[in-house]
Structure 1
Amino acid sequence: MKNYINQNQERFLDELSKFLAFKSISADSAFKSECLECADYLVEFFNSIDMDTQLIPTKGIPVVYAEKIIDENFPTVLIYGHYDVQPAFKEDGWDSDPFDMVIKNKKIYARGAADDKGQVFMHMKVLEFMSQNNSWPLNIKVFLEGEEEVGSTNLEDFILENKSLLESDFILISDTSIISNSQPSITAGVRGMTAMELTVKGPKVDVHSGVYGGIMDNPINVLSHIIAKVKDSDGRILIPGFYDDVIEYNESQRAQFQEVFSKMPSKDDLCSEFGLNDLLAEPGFSPYEGGSIRPTFDVVGITGGYQGEGMKIIIPNQASAKFTFRLVANQDPKKVQKQIVDYINSIAPKTLTLEFDFSENSGAAYATNLDSVYYKVAAKAMEDSFGTKCLPVMCGGSIPVASMLKKHLNKETIFLGFGLEEDNIHSPNESYGIFNMNIGIETIFNYLNSIASQSN
């Protein structure tokens, strides 16, 4: 595989440039035609390497599906990725056109370079190699969605309608990162999330705070009171029953995570970089544990009252705040949502009306079984490629598709991503290292062959 990569490097970069040129921005309907053109491009590619391919409609942007079934007795991998990207415009702060790939300092610069087209491309080249050599070590199924960047709106319906089509032994996703190019890692778990907006409604219209202050409750005061009682000063959430299902890791497991945290920027470095006095730490846990294996509550937006220059002496008619609760493995978003509503209703005064609006983007956490053969073989493949021990990383972010696939297909998911924190995903000047692309192709190829050998 290394020789194939080296011999075809220029061609790979040229083909990746064409893939990245599609403005497949799912968030803006003005770019739907570009999304469809990108999907057609993928269908053409998979057809060209002798995979049975179809473009499957959804209520939004279609799913690209391809398969190569060699033998029903062989193991089957289901590879997931997405071909849509975040919005990007040169005036956002890009050094160049975000859809015109630039190579600089051995990095590929373009929107989607790391998230997720560049990482999908690695799988495309692995499958191309298998096809050219007529050497398929296992059954391959691929499905690429076009709406991941808008919350995978139609993905659950697609999975439910195509469960037999998606049947496999394990799932492989490359949409994550490693600690560094000298320290390989595998994302072993991601947090879930439930997001909501709470609106506190008072008088029908804004009223004079002198005339009605002390007579009518103030929605901003009530909202502030509620927010202050959701968690304490140590960051521990005060909602009754909230921690009932939270996994408590043993000392051995926490020591393994600490080995990962020791590779991360120090507390002093983070405080210096972000201009902070100190980091938050729940009692008994380090800041990095708080950002990965513990649930959290954050206010992500708040509004109410007069926002213009000067003062407007009123009691506003309403105030609202947007919250996110990051959840960990075993926490059920629906159960947590009920706990949130019950608790807020119990602490709020009865003088005003509360409205709860939960986002459809809520999803459960996912944790990989570190004792599974699929994880162990993946860690070994990473170690062989990088020449050093691979570490499991618990990620503080959320990948809703993982819990969705687990819920409906009940198969283990392995996150075999090769991005870096410095890749600026979702930001101007997104990049992906050529080294990362190449070692990703090599590792994925070796991983799939090793899984096939284990099964045989």
Structure 2
Amino acid sequence: MITVFWTCLLLYSNTLSYSHDSTNKGNVKNCKYLEETHLETLFKAIDYRKDVFVERLAHAVAIPSVSSQSEHQEDLVNMLKWTGDILNNLGFFWQIKSPTLSNKSNSSTSLKYPFLLGHLAKAQNINKQVLNKSKTLLIYAHVDVVAAKQSEGWEQSDPFVMERKNGFLKGRGTTDDKGPVVAWLNALSVLKEELGNDCFPPLNIKIFLETGEEIGSPGLREILSNEATFFNDIDYLVVTDNYCLTNYKPCLTYGLRGMVYFSLEINGPFKQDLHSGVHGGPIDEPLRESVYLLASMVDKDGKILIPEIYDDVLPLEEPENASYSSIQFNDETPGAYFVASKNEVLAKKWRWPSLSVHGIEGSISQKGDVKSVIPHRILSKFSIRLVPDQDPERVKELVRSYLEELHADWTLGKENANTMTLKSLHEGVLAWYNPNPQNNPVFIAAEKAVKRVYGLEPDYTREGGTIPAVVYLSQAIPSPTNVILLPIGTTDDGAHSQNEKLSEQHFMNGTKLMLAYIYELSLTQY
């Protein structure tokens, strides 16, 4: 298939052995198309800049853009401005938009989780008739990170000072999600520098970055509504915020689980902690009821016991189940799974809802602490990962009804009993999946790009996690099925954990993959 755009490299690439001279770039007025062999020239240009690209990621990691801590609000803005400075050099027009949010615990303190919206000017000298037909690619990512302290078990003294060691780039955000963001910037930089202004870009490109993804994307839907014109011409959406299942096999992701998140508070009929020897026995203990309620929602095999919760779950049909057998999958947490079958592991990760208890506040929390008290208040948090076609609002009601029934039974006949408060901590996110990825242009282009970079057929995978932006962005763009998750890291990178890392090889190959993806996607538009 022929595309306009790429001949400028064709005309001078024979003089590149590899040379970094770009004095003649931008003078070619007749951009046509790039032959396969000239992608290798661009890949060599990426390798040539390796140290520069690694240093760029180190600068990104050094900005502690922790969205869960209010003291880092300024760092969130600084992270976007740092990215914007690079986009300036690439010819992007960009602006920062903030939703109207406030800190509920202190109404006088305004919390902002800003977004960056940018678009790249079209190449100057491509035929205008062709320009009018150009498709638009939206790149989505996030630049906020979860909190990290050396005292939590990091090997390096400061998680925000990236270490380059034994082929890995170590630091908070290297794989989630600053590494992928910088890889996109690197790929665009090579295209810009090697092709010149007259031939860059090959298709219209927009970029959308957020600073609150790690805390549930506050304000995202407001921005999508307020800035609807920015999204109404998007043809393709690519997201790089997930992981491959192995260190050696790339994958393309076509599904995510959704999520609902709850807090469960049990208060005793007494106002302070009590001595268990003095009062234990006739007291309705909040921690005991909390444990009972949490344990009553799921059985020993992980099956959720809440009535009707599986009624809307789509069945796992045999063709999909059979496809799991060929997927390359390494157990990145040896000994963690209680099922032995790979198919069952993947199905439990991707295709069935799961309930997880995340923590309990109000009980013993200090290491080595021994207290024989009865806590007067217990706050626990749990979530349910949703799958197609579960509705978050219906699941919330099922959870509430079930727990209220259990609580009523627990307190029945007690003169002074505990009280229960159940809260949903966000509105809930639908599961997302592409029903026919192999015949979708964003996946077809990605598969070709993977073959060019890795020489392998990619696995088609789902993901057990939740990315609200994928759901809401797919609803905001004209072609909701033209959405793909294109990962470069792997599941053992330690995202959200201690010693987060990204291998240099995956960082560089990921940059090549993104460049090749832009090229392949440009071929679909004419």
- Output the TM-score relative to the length of structure 2: 0.77
Structure 2's unaligned 5+ residue stretches are 1-41, 101-111, 123-130, 412-417
- Shift in CA distance, 348/169, structure 1 to aligned 2, threshold 3 Å: same
2:141 corresponding residue in structure 1: 81
2:186 corresponding residue in structure 1: 125
Task: Choose which of 29, 32, 46 in structure 1 pairs with 2:73.
Answer: 32
Deviation digits for residues 39-74 of structure 1 (CA, Å, limit 9, x no counterpart): 222222111111212222334132222112533421
Query: Aligned to 1:186, what secondary structure does the other structure show?
Result: strand
May I ask how many residue pairs the two structures share in their alignment?
445
Give the drift of 1:115: 1.4
Q: Contact between 1:192 and 1:328, CA under 8 Å: does it hold in 2?
A: yes
Q: Contact between 2:242 and 2:463, CA under 8 Å: does it hold in 1?
A: no
2:19 corresponding residue in structure 1: none
2:382 corresponding residue in structure 1: 323
Task: Choose which of 8, 30, 34 in structure 1 pairs with 2:49.
Answer: 8
Counterpart residue type for residue 63 of structure 1: F
Q: Within 5 Å, which residues of 2 pair with 1:374-413?
A: 374-409=442-477, 411=480, 412-413=482-483
Task: Choose which of 228, 232, 235 in structure 1 pairs with 2:299.
Answer: 232
- Shift in CA distance, 119/246, structure 1 to aligned 2, threshold 3 Å: same
Deviation digits for residues 328-357 of structure 1 (CA, Å, limit 9, x no counterpart): 122111111011112222333263532111
2:522 corresponding residue in structure 1: 452
Q: Within 5 Å, which residues of 2 pair with 1:349-428?
A: 349=408, 351=411, 352-360=418-426, 362-369=428-435, 370=437, 371-409=439-477, 411=480, 412-428=482-498
Alpha-carbon separation, structure 1, partners of 2:267 and 2:79: 45
Alpha-carbon separation, structure 2, partners of 1:388 and 1:118: 23
Give the drift of 1:253: 0.8
Structure 1's unaligned 5+ residue stretches are none
Alpha-carbon separation, structure 1, partners of 2:151 and 2:83: 29
Alpha-carbon separation, structure 2, partners of 1:421 and 1:396: 11
Q: Contact between 1:222 and 1:349, CA under 8 Å: does it hold in 2?
A: no
Give the drift of 1:213: 7.8
Matched, 1:156 2:221: yes
1:270 corresponding residue in structure 2: 334
Give the drift of 1:118: 1.4
Alpha-carbon separation, structure 1, partners of 2:158 and 2:362: 38
1:431 corresponding residue in structure 2: 501
Q: Contact between 1:234 and 1:281, CA under 8 Å: does it hold in 2?
A: no
Q: Within 5 Å, which residues of 2 pair with 1:9-408?
A: 9-59=50-100, 60-70=112-122, 71-92=131-152, 93-132=154-193, 133=195, 134-167=199-232, 168-205=234-271, 217-260=284-327, 263-265=329-331, 270-271=334-335, 274=336, 279=338, 286-303=344-361, 309=370, 311-312=372-373, 317-349=376-408, 351=411, 352-360=418-426, 362-369=428-435, 370=437, 371-408=439-476
Alpha-carbon separation, structure 2, partners of 1:166 and 1:428: 36
Q: Contact between 1:184 and 1:383, CA under 8 Å: does it hold in 2?
A: no
Deviation digits for residues 368-412 of structure 1 (CA, Å, limit 9, x no counterpart): 332422123212321332112211222222222212222343623
Which structure would you say has the larger Rg?
2
Give the drift of 1:254: 0.9
Q: Which moved more, 1:289-298 or 1:208-217?
A: 208-217
Counterpart residue type for residue 386 of structure 1: Y
Q: Contact between 1:176 and 1:417, CA under 8 Å: does it hold in 2?
A: yes
Q: Which moved more, 1:408-417 or 1:157-166?
A: 408-417
Q: Contact between 1:424 and 1:430, CA under 8 Å: does it hold in 2?
A: yes
Counterpart residue type for residue 76 of structure 2: C
Alpha-carbon separation, structure 1, partners of 2:305 and 2:288: 19
- The share of aligned pairs that are identical, in percent, is 27
Deviation digits for residues 126-181 of structure 1 (CA, Å, limit 9, x no counterpart): 22233331332211000111222222222221112112212311211112222234
- Shift in CA distance, 319/41, structure 1 to aligned 2, threshold 3 Å: closer
- Output the TM-score relative to the length of structure 1: 0.88
- Shift in CA distance, 321/97, structure 1 to aligned 2, threshold 3 Å: closer
Q: Contact between 2:160 and 2:172, CA under 8 Å: does it hold in 1?
A: yes
Alpha-carbon separation, structure 1, partners of 2:164 and 2:292: 52
Deviation digits for residues 187-213 of structure 1 (CA, Å, limit 9, x no counterpart): 222211111112233424367889988
- Shift in CA distance, 321/56, structure 1 to aligned 2, threshold 3 Å: closer
Alpha-carbon separation, structure 2, partners of 1:45 and 1:445: 17
RMSD of equivalent CA atoms: 2.9
Alpha-carbon separation, structure 1, partners of 2:515 and 2:230: 23
